[in-house]
Amino acid sequence: MPFSIYLINNEDKFLLFIDASYKKNITLNLKLSKFAFMKYIFTTLFAYVNMAVFSQSTFRPSVAYNEHFCSEPEIVVYSTFINKFTSSKLRFIRISNVLTSTWTSAYCDCELCRSVTTDTADFIIPVGDSCTTSAHFYPANKKGLGSVQIKIFDTANASKFVIGEYRATCWGLSSSFLENDKIKVYPNPSNSMLNISFGSIEPYIINIITADGKLLMRKKVEGLNHSVDISAFDSGLYSVKIEKGSKILFSRFIKN
């Protein structure tokens, strides 16, 4: 609705005229003291700033996509979430989970990777910070596709929210080899057996390290695939460190 605002100083009073045109002309006269007028202006500006802050919370990209072989244990799709809400205490809800039959999916927020049955959880990220989020699709060796939509909002104000979408597809062909010097760690998250695959024809060393740098396992191995029992590990984030000659490579996993 188009409108015009006029401000006139009349005997230490501010006269605010708002002329609007919408089917008929409307004129509103407000007589305000200087203090009341300034309070009104600052309140209005604060409201507009808040609206701008909320609108900046976003996923980048808003629709993320990845594809892989159907024989892969999981297809991971990443998106960066930027928190421009006014609170660090947020909640996500998986509002859509459209999958080919036998496929499953799980979501990793800014703090934890959740189970395939978790559709909502709270997490914390400081205002203004960003984090890498991800949707994990498990195709179970079946050609198909999946789409997950995640809604994030301030737990104190659910009316302000942002939605991100993660899409995945897999090819019917299979992969019987692993690229040189590429690490695969799966399932992720895991609570019992962790599979570690590393593409190398030479012997290499597998290290498992806690988030605070404590070495839990160090083993020299050969071949493509290896399994590690992590059932006795505490829940949390861990790193897999691969040493191959002068090369050092890392991957991470979550112990539920």
| Average confidence (pLDDT) over 124-149 | 93
The whole model's pTM is what?
Answer: 0.51
CATH architecture of 183-255: Sandwich (2.60)
Q: Is it the case that residue 24 has pLDDT exceeding 50? A: no
Query: Residue ranges of the domains in the chain?
Result: 3-55, 59-171, 183-255
* Residue 25 pLDDT: 41
- pLDDT tens-digit map of 186-208: 888 888 888 888 877 788 999 99
Task: Say if strands 63-69 and 157-171 run parallel, antiparallel, or are unpaired.
Answer: parallel
How far apart (Å, rounded) are the C-alpha atoms in residues 196 and 10? Answer: 79
How far apart (Å, rounded) are the C-alpha atoms in residues 3 and 37? Answer: 19
Closest to 92 measured CA to CA, from 29, 17, 152: 152
Close Cβ partners of 222 (under 8 Å, ≥ 6 residues apart): 202, 203, 204
Q: Which helix (H) or strand (E) holds 52?
A: helix 34-56
Quickly name the fold that domain 59-171 has. Answer: Immunoglobulin-like (2.60.40)
- pLDDT tens-digit map of 38-94: 666 666 555 555 544 445 789 999 999 988 878 788 899 999 999 999 999 999 999
